[in-house]
Amino acid sequence: MLSNLHFGRLPDTRTEGEWVAARLGVDSWTGAQALESKVKSAQSPRILHLATHGFFLTHNPHRGSAPDPGRTNGHLDNPLLRSGIVLAGANRWLEGATLPQEAEDGLLTAEDVCAMNLFGTDLVVLSACETGLGEYHIGEGIFGLRRAFELAGARSLVMSLWRVPSGPTRELIQQFYRQLDQGKRRSQALGEARRILSRRYAETFYWGAFVLSGDPSPMQIS
């Protein structure tokens, strides 16, 4: 249940976000500036980079409804409500606090993403845990953040398949953007970034979680 969640600080995400923003020549939204309403109102950014916590909750119908259906939607039968990205204020909302209107509930769910306008967005990078997970429905495919960003119009998506450590993730993402800047295909850039990280970290856990979905072609980022 969402009400059981709590998200600790990630020491490297601010550094990563500011580095990526500088590389792209844009402003970063960090800390209290990372508001759900701002992200949802973004209109077809060429690149959308989200460095934060991600979550995917498996469905267990025997656990009953959440203690406050008004805050956590009761039974979370919809997999698009059980996967998402954590933004400013999420912990306080989960604890029962009332947030400023622009913060909403601090949880950008896959259902929220489906309503965004990302047509024309070349690349979405979800630098967070388990952003590539979802729930398989027979005849319909996997429902989660990946499906949501595709429906919103994003052409390609970098996402993770398991819980990732923040330090090596920051290094991997930086290498990925450097490789893109060299004119490599998106798929090749991610593969090369993983290879570079594998020299420093022998275990696949540190660099193997991230995969690319969608358009693999080259793209200029600066």
The tens digit of pLDDT for each residue in 204-213 reads 999 999 999 9
Residue 61: the pLDDT is 43
Tell me the chain's radius of gyration from C-alpha atoms.
Answer: 17
* pTM of the shown model: 0.88
| Alpha helix segments (H runs only) across the chain | 13-24, 36-40, 69-72, 90-94, 110-114, 145-152, 166-181, 186-200
Q: Residue 191 phi/psi, 5° resolution?
A: -60, -40
For 36-73, what is each residue's pLDDT tens digit?
Answer: 999 999 999 999 999 999 888 876 544 333 334 344 44
Residue 57: the pLDDT is 82
Whether 163 and 205 have beta carbons less than 8 Å apart is answered as: no
Residue 59: the pLDDT is 62
CA–chain centroid gap for 181, Å, is 22
Count of helices and strands (H, E) across the chain:
8, 9
Q: For the chain, what are the domain ranges?
A: 2-214
For 7-16, what is each residue's pLDDT tens digit?
Answer: 888 888 999 9
Q: List the structure tokens of 74.
A: 């009761």
Positions of the chain with pLDDT under 70: 1-4, 59-76, 133-143
Whether 219 and 186 have beta carbons less than 8 Å apart is answered as: yes
